[in-house]
Amino acid sequence: GLYILTRKLTEQWRNTSRLSAKTGLMMHKLSEEEDDQFLEKGQIAEEKVKSVDYDVWVSEVDGDVLIQSYKRWFTKYNSCPKCKFRTYYKVYDKVIVSPTYTSSGRGEKFFKCTNCGHSKTISYTIPKKTKSSSTSSGSRSWGSSSSSWSSSSSSSYSSGGSWGGGSSGGGGAGSSW
Protein backbone atom coordinates (compact mmCIF):
# COMPACT_ATOMS: atom_id res chain seq x y z
CA GLY A 1 0.00 0.00 0.00
CA LEU A 2 2.81 2.41 0.90
CA TYR A 3 4.53 1.76 -2.44
CA ILE A 4 1.33 2.51 -4.38
CA LEU A 5 0.68 5.70 -2.41
CA THR A 6 4.27 6.89 -2.86
CA ARG A 7 4.13 6.16 -6.58
CA LYS A 8 0.85 8.08 -6.98
CA LEU A 9 2.18 11.10 -5.06
CA THR A 10 5.40 11.05 -7.11
CA GLU A 11 3.39 11.05 -10.36
CA GLN A 12 1.36 14.03 -9.14
CA TRP A 13 4.54 15.88 -8.17
CA ARG A 14 6.20 15.11 -11.50
CA ASN A 15 3.32 16.73 -13.42
CA THR A 16 2.83 19.80 -11.19
CA SER A 17 3.60 23.10 -12.93
CA ARG A 18 6.98 24.63 -12.14
CA LEU A 19 8.29 28.18 -11.95
CA SER A 20 11.83 28.85 -13.10
CA ALA A 21 14.28 29.58 -10.28
CA LYS A 22 16.26 31.78 -12.72
CA THR A 23 13.55 33.85 -14.36
CA GLY A 24 10.35 33.23 -12.39
CA LEU A 25 8.57 32.25 -15.63
CA MET A 26 6.28 29.24 -15.97
CA MET A 27 8.00 26.14 -17.28
CA HIS A 28 6.54 23.30 -19.29
CA LYS A 29 7.54 19.66 -19.25
CA LEU A 30 8.96 18.17 -22.45
CA SER A 31 7.85 14.82 -23.84
CA GLU A 32 10.16 11.79 -23.60
CA GLU A 33 11.20 12.30 -27.23
CA GLU A 34 11.85 16.03 -26.83
CA ASP A 35 13.82 15.79 -23.58
CA ASP A 36 16.63 13.71 -25.11
CA GLN A 37 18.18 16.83 -26.68
CA PHE A 38 18.91 18.15 -23.16
CA LEU A 39 20.22 14.88 -21.67
CA GLU A 40 23.73 13.43 -21.72
CA LYS A 41 24.42 10.13 -23.49
CA GLY A 42 24.62 8.33 -20.12
CA GLN A 43 21.30 9.76 -18.96
CA ILE A 44 19.65 8.55 -22.17
CA ALA A 45 21.18 5.11 -21.53
CA GLU A 46 19.72 5.14 -18.00
CA GLU A 47 16.28 5.92 -19.43
CA LYS A 48 16.69 3.16 -22.00
CA VAL A 49 17.31 0.49 -19.34
CA LYS A 50 14.68 2.11 -17.09
CA SER A 51 16.94 2.52 -14.05
CA VAL A 52 16.38 6.30 -13.95
CA ASP A 53 13.72 8.46 -15.58
CA TYR A 54 14.36 12.12 -16.33
CA ASP A 55 11.90 14.99 -16.64
CA VAL A 56 13.06 18.10 -18.48
CA TRP A 57 11.32 21.41 -17.88
CA VAL A 58 11.96 24.53 -20.01
CA SER A 59 10.71 28.09 -20.06
CA GLU A 60 10.48 30.48 -23.01
CA VAL A 61 13.99 31.79 -22.26
CA ASP A 62 16.83 29.92 -23.99
CA GLY A 63 19.04 28.06 -21.55
CA ASP A 64 16.42 28.07 -18.79
CA VAL A 65 16.29 24.31 -18.26
CA LEU A 66 15.46 22.18 -15.21
CA ILE A 67 16.37 18.47 -15.29
CA GLN A 68 14.93 16.25 -12.55
CA SER A 69 15.87 12.59 -12.08
CA TYR A 70 13.75 9.83 -10.58
CA LYS A 71 15.57 6.63 -9.69
CA ARG A 72 13.67 3.39 -9.99
CA TRP A 73 13.34 1.58 -6.66
CA PHE A 74 13.67 -1.99 -7.89
CA THR A 75 16.18 -2.47 -10.68
CA LYS A 76 19.10 -4.74 -11.44
CA TYR A 77 21.25 -1.73 -12.46
CA ASN A 78 23.81 0.03 -10.25
CA SER A 79 26.21 2.93 -10.77
CA CYS A 80 29.09 2.05 -13.06
CA PRO A 81 32.50 2.42 -11.40
CA LYS A 82 33.85 4.04 -14.59
CA CYS A 83 31.15 6.36 -16.05
CA LYS A 84 29.05 6.69 -12.83
CA PHE A 85 25.74 6.22 -14.65
CA ARG A 86 23.23 3.68 -13.35
CA THR A 87 23.73 1.25 -16.23
CA TYR A 88 26.02 -1.38 -14.64
CA TYR A 89 24.58 -4.84 -14.05
CA LYS A 90 25.50 -8.46 -13.34
CA VAL A 91 25.38 -10.43 -16.58
CA TYR A 92 25.94 -13.80 -14.93
CA ASP A 93 27.02 -15.60 -11.77
CA LYS A 94 28.04 -19.17 -12.46
CA VAL A 95 29.86 -22.08 -10.89
CA ILE A 96 33.08 -22.93 -12.75
CA VAL A 97 34.21 -25.80 -10.50
CA SER A 98 31.67 -27.40 -8.18
CA PRO A 99 32.72 -27.89 -4.56
CA THR A 100 33.07 -31.40 -3.14
CA TYR A 101 33.46 -32.78 0.39
CA THR A 102 37.25 -32.74 -0.06
CA SER A 103 37.88 -29.53 -2.03
CA SER A 104 36.43 -26.07 -2.47
CA GLY A 105 34.94 -24.89 -5.76
CA ARG A 106 35.24 -21.76 -7.85
CA GLY A 107 32.64 -19.36 -9.18
CA GLU A 108 32.65 -16.37 -11.49
CA LYS A 109 30.58 -13.18 -11.72
CA PHE A 110 30.59 -10.96 -14.79
CA PHE A 111 29.45 -7.32 -14.74
CA LYS A 112 28.97 -4.93 -17.68
CA CYS A 113 27.91 -1.34 -18.29
CA THR A 114 25.42 -0.76 -21.11
CA ASN A 115 26.55 2.89 -21.39
CA CYS A 116 30.36 2.88 -21.57
CA GLY A 117 31.01 -0.84 -22.08
CA HIS A 118 33.13 -1.19 -18.93
CA SER A 119 33.21 -4.82 -17.79
CA LYS A 120 34.64 -6.73 -14.87
CA THR A 121 34.99 -10.43 -14.05
CA ILE A 122 35.23 -11.48 -10.41
CA SER A 123 36.33 -14.98 -9.42
CA TYR A 124 35.42 -16.29 -5.99
CA THR A 125 35.86 -19.43 -3.89
CA ILE A 126 32.93 -21.65 -3.01
CA PRO A 127 33.43 -23.42 0.35
CA LYS A 128 33.70 -27.21 0.58
CA LYS A 129 30.50 -29.17 1.07
CA THR A 130 29.85 -30.27 4.62
CA LYS A 131 28.04 -33.32 5.81
CA SER A 132 25.04 -32.45 7.90
CA SER A 133 24.51 -34.40 11.10
CA SER A 134 20.97 -35.56 11.64
CA THR A 135 19.70 -36.39 15.11
CA SER A 136 16.16 -37.22 14.14
CA SER A 137 14.47 -40.27 15.56
CA GLY A 138 12.06 -42.46 13.66
CA SER A 139 9.55 -42.43 16.51
CA ARG A 140 8.82 -38.70 16.40
CA SER A 141 6.95 -37.03 13.61
CA TRP A 142 6.19 -33.33 13.59
CA GLY A 143 4.74 -32.99 10.08
CA SER A 144 1.11 -33.80 9.43
CA SER A 145 -1.72 -32.47 7.37
CA SER A 146 -3.60 -31.39 10.47
CA SER A 147 -2.66 -31.07 14.07
CA SER A 148 -4.49 -31.01 17.32
CA TRP A 149 -3.22 -29.87 20.67
CA SER A 150 -4.58 -31.11 23.93
CA SER A 151 -3.63 -30.41 27.44
CA SER A 152 -4.08 -32.41 30.56
CA SER A 153 -2.95 -31.93 34.10
CA SER A 154 0.76 -31.59 34.51
CA SER A 155 2.63 -34.61 35.71
CA SER A 156 6.23 -35.50 36.24
CA TYR A 157 8.41 -37.87 34.29
CA SER A 158 6.67 -41.19 33.76
CA SER A 159 8.26 -44.60 33.59
CA GLY A 160 7.43 -44.87 29.88
CA GLY A 161 10.18 -42.42 28.93
CA SER A 162 8.03 -39.40 28.11
CA TRP A 163 7.00 -36.29 29.96
CA GLY A 164 3.40 -35.94 31.03
CA GLY A 165 1.33 -32.86 30.48
CA GLY A 166 0.03 -33.05 26.93
CA SER A 167 0.24 -34.60 23.54
CA SER A 168 0.27 -33.56 19.96
CA GLY A 169 -0.71 -35.48 16.91
CA GLY A 170 -3.28 -35.89 14.24
CA GLY A 171 -3.06 -37.25 10.76
CA GLY A 172 0.10 -39.16 11.54
CA ALA A 173 2.31 -40.25 14.35
CA GLY A 174 1.94 -38.36 17.59
CA SER A 175 4.34 -37.35 20.29
CA SER A 176 3.96 -36.95 24.05
CA TRP A 177 5.75 -34.78 26.48
Q: Check: CB of residue 175 under 8 Å from CB of residue 167.
A: yes
User: Does position 167 have pLDDT exceeding 50, yes or no?
Assistant: no
Q: What are phi and psi of 117, to 5 degrees?
A: 85, 0
Low-confidence winner among 44-53, 77-86, 92-101, 131-140 (lowest mean pLDDT): 131-140
Low-confidence winner among 43-47, 87-91, 106-110, 133-137 (lowest mean pLDDT): 133-137
pLDDT score recorded for residue 135: 56
Q: Check: CB of residue 120 under 8 Å from CB of residue 127.
A: no
**For residue 57, what are the contacts with CB-CB under 8 A and spacing of at least 6?**
18, 27, 28, 29, 30, 65, 66, 67, 68
Q: To 10 degrees, the CA torsion angle through 155, 156, 158, 161? A: 120
pLDDT score recorded for residue 16: 87
